[in-house]
Amino acid sequence: MDVFGIHTDLIDEHESFTKSGTVIWDARIAGFVEDDLAAKSQWPDPWLSLNPFFADGGQVTDLVRDGVLHPRCAEIFQAGKKETSPRPADR
């Protein structure tokens, strides 16, 4: 599965849907709308932020042991993964 391809397709479909609902006759408004879509105002780039003030939740293995995380998390999120580690696509 190509997650980035799905993301691109989703955005393209959303833009196509947005444009298909109206016909803009005024060139100034049409230009504004085109510029706005090109600026990604409807679908901005994803933003990830890490907050250093969050409390440490502990090690993944501890959270799995305590039932906070799914057991597979201990396999997936491990430092220094081995070549023999199972991959989600292998299942």
pLDDT at 48: 66
On whether the pTM is more than 0.85, the answer is: no
DSSP string, the chain: --HHHHHHHHHHHHHHHHHHT-----HHHHHHHHHHHHTTSSSPPP-----TTSPP---HHHHHHTTSS-TTHHHHS-TT--TTS--GGG-
Judge whether residue 91 has pLDDT over 50. Answer: no
Q: What is the pLDDT of residues 26-65, one digit of tens each?
A: 999 999 988 988 888 887 777 767 777 777 778 888 999 9
Q: Which residue has the higher pLDDT, 69 or 91?
A: 69
